[in-house]
Structure 1
Amino acid sequence: MKHKTFQFNSNTITANIKMCVYGSVLVSSMLSPMVQADDFSSSYQAYQQAVAANDSKQTLVFAQQAYDLGKVSFGENHIDTAKLLMNLANAQRNSGDKVSASQNYNKVLASYQAHYGDDNIEVLDPMLLAAESTINDKKAQALFEDAIDVAKSLNDPLVIAEVYTAAFKHLYKTPEYNHTIKNYGLKAYDIYSQHLPEDAIIRVDATYLAASIQFAEKHYDTAERLFLEVIKQYQALDYSHPSELHAHAVLVELYEKQNNSQQATAHCIAIGKMKPWSDDQDQVPLFRHHPNYPKSYAKDRKSGWVDMVFTIDANGFVKSASVLDSKGGKRFEKESLEAIQKWRYAPKFVDGNPVEAEAKVRLDFTIADS
């Protein structure tokens, strides 16, 4: 399979979204030719060279110089000054100064809105960057909602899908996550499914996100279908993509939840054989079943632990489990032995072949203080 990168029309903002959101800071083509000062030209040229060399320290130095000199030449409120400030904010973000970057993205957004209007395509870049850089989750959500409204006004579904994806990826891990934000990820997948071929890398990534959402929502049949589609597309690559590995691992858990060990085994083996793992890869846990806490022990607030040794066979199954040592009572041992039998692993590989291997683990039983 040759993964396709979809080419957007020149009248969309998508190229600019990608340019700014994912780290590129090359906005030189947007600058007015009016600035002729030698010192500014030298600083800006040095900035471009630092970007090309991927030198983050020098990029930051010359981005600051170019902005300071450009502000004098253009004027505080000129749009080209705002574009230079965008470069500086990107350099600050890449160097780890998130606070300064966030402050400057907000200034850039205000300048763009004053120059272009609140709903113009040009404001999408700084709006998304301001949303992604703020530490205020509510503000981020509001900015993403504004960006979605701007994208919808363009009547370009692929732009809308990109903004949906950016919003979901940022907000799903915040306290603001809700049904609406969940649907951003699902809507992006629906749009890409309608407008891109199944092997377009953007669509495959969206499929992975949708599969993860469906799994979290316990829609296992849909999640299974989507994860299998992700695996199908990434298997055409000559290396192992992290999303492919995770898809296999989630399917192991999904099939074990459904007591379908045979299908789970196939995905254990697949993980063990994935590149860039070495031919002598150690076993890796994929699915862990938590032991039951004995009710009588829990009532008495009894705690303890169990050390076990066991064999992981060539298919990732646990066998021959035994207790090495324990504390707290025999019921802890009984529950631990029952739970460990349900664990699944990617098997150990020696010279490229799956083999049996011994493993040890301690299971702790504690009751949190209320």
Structure 2
Amino acid sequence: MFRIIAVACLMFAGVTASLLSGCSDEPSNEEAAPLIGESIRHSLEAAESYLTTGNEAHARSILAKVMEQAPDDGRGYEMMGRLELRRGIELRELGLIDSAREQFRDSFLWYEKALRFMEKSGGLCQSAGEVAQLAGLDEKALSLYMSAMELEPDNPKPSLCAAQLLLDTQPDRAESILRSVLDAHPDQSHALASLALACQAQGRDEVAAELASKALAIAGDQVAVRIVIARVHRLSGREREALELLLALPDEVRSQESAASEIALCWHSLGQPLNAGEAWADCFRANAYRADAWRFALRAAEAMADADRESMAASWLEQAVMLDAPDIEVEQTRSRIAKSGLFED
């Protein structure tokens, strides 16, 4: 059964070292026998081991042979897709967002090839959908999630992913999917939190608040659920309740973009842009190694400008420029700050 890929689950469990015994560090120059039957399985296991240990060159070499000699076996294409996916994740973690998206698209092409031979695999449809979503191919992702829902009706994950894609554009459809999930899994905290957002988007704030409270009671310390619930509170005008949830998160979580953004929005709504600026400053410090750290510097600059802290705003703008922020992004930020009148003589 194929793994359902989630960002938090990309590092697969190690395969025993015995699979690698007898394998030299350099590929053999001798012509190998054609791969058939059981030898294909062993080759895929070896490639999995190399993939797990980060030896991409050996994994690619084995997979190239598998795909050449067993072109109708989708497993080689799926594994190659996972290999490219790992690269995309690494690029995204470094803040190279555009490069990561292109890498995700390369990965998705391999998943599409795998699906030609394994279209009845719900797990593969789910994995391919997640990769498509990472690549920005939302329509393809939604179609694959729907296929996975049909193939694995007892698995709530495809339904959750489909509903989350629909929340902003079709909240009524998202609600229908989420209620179906909750009929079978009434204590699914992610479904409850997402349903709260769907109801809120349709103007049913009281229902959303009730669902958020229920989700929070079940979720415990699940970070993603707590951030969604905080968003529900903020959009309902309960910014202080949202901040109570967000500021209780561990420092390393609170300083990541998803949490920092919600924290900053709450402080802005409460008329305290200086605190919003500090939230973005914390986010910058935690992510200064990223190629796109300039984004956080520009957001800190704008918040500091809203707080009438001219020198701090100027300092953050300078920081963004030093990090090679695109000229258009810097100019747009300067323009918004200028409209506030902060830098006027």
TM-score normalised by structure 1 residue count: 0.49
Taking the aligned partners of 2:172 and 2:107, their CA distance within structure 1 comes to 34
Q: Which runs of structure 2 are paired with 1:231-310 in the superposition (5 Å)?
A: 231-235=182-186, 244-274=188-218, 276=220, 285-289=230-234
Matched residue count: 229
Contact 1:116 1:122 in 2 (8 A): no
Distance 1:70 1:115, change over 3 A: farther
Contact 2:159 2:178 in 1 (8 A): yes
Shift of 1:213: 0.7
Taking the aligned partners of 1:309 and 1:146, their CA distance within structure 2 comes to 44
Higher strand proportion: 1
- Which structure is richer in relative contact order (CA contacts within 8 A, separation 6 or more)? 1
List gaps (5 residues or longer) in structure 1.
1-14, 27-46, 48-58, 293-307, 313-332, 338-363
| Paired position in structure 2 for 1:89 | 50
Q: Which runs of structure 2 are paired with 1:19-34 in the superposition (5 Å)?
A: 23=12
Name the amino acid aligned to 1:336: L
Match of 2:147 among 181, 191, 194: 191
Shift of 1:111: 1.3
Taking the aligned partners of 2:4 and 2:149, their CA distance within structure 1 comes to 23
Match of 2:66 among 92, 109, 112: 112
Rg (Cα) greater in structure? 1
Match of 1:229 among 180, 200, 216: 180
Distance 1:251 1:291, change over 3 A: closer
| Paired position in structure 2 for 1:210 | 162
2:120 aligned with 1:158: yes
Name the amino acid aligned to 1:151: L
Contact 1:108 1:126 in 2 (8 A): no
2:128 aligned with 1:167: yes
Distance 1:336 1:18, change over 3 A: closer
Contact 2:4 2:126 in 1 (8 A): no
Taking the aligned partners of 2:176 and 2:44, their CA distance within structure 1 comes to 44
| Paired position in structure 2 for 1:147 | 111
List gaps (5 residues or longer) in structure 2.
89-99, 243-266, 272-302, 307-332, 336-345
Distance 1:106 1:263, change over 3 A: same
Match of 1:67 among 10, 23, 26: 23
Work out the percentage of aligned pairs sharing the same amino acid.
10
Higher helix proportion: 2
Name the amino acid aligned to 2:207: Q
Distance 1:91 1:162, change over 3 A: closer
Shift of 1:64: 4.6
The two structures, once aligned, show a CA RMSD in angstroms of: 4.4
Name the amino acid aligned to 2:210: A
Match of 1:130 among 71, 83, 88: 83
Q: Which runs of structure 2 are paired with 1:46-65 in the superposition (5 Å)?
A: 47=16, 59=17, 62=18, 64-65=20-21
Contact 1:162 1:188 in 2 (8 A): no
Name the amino acid aligned to 1:369: R
Give secondary structure in 2 for the equivalent of 1:273: helix
Contact 2:195 2:211 in 1 (8 A): yes
Shift of 1:186: 2.1
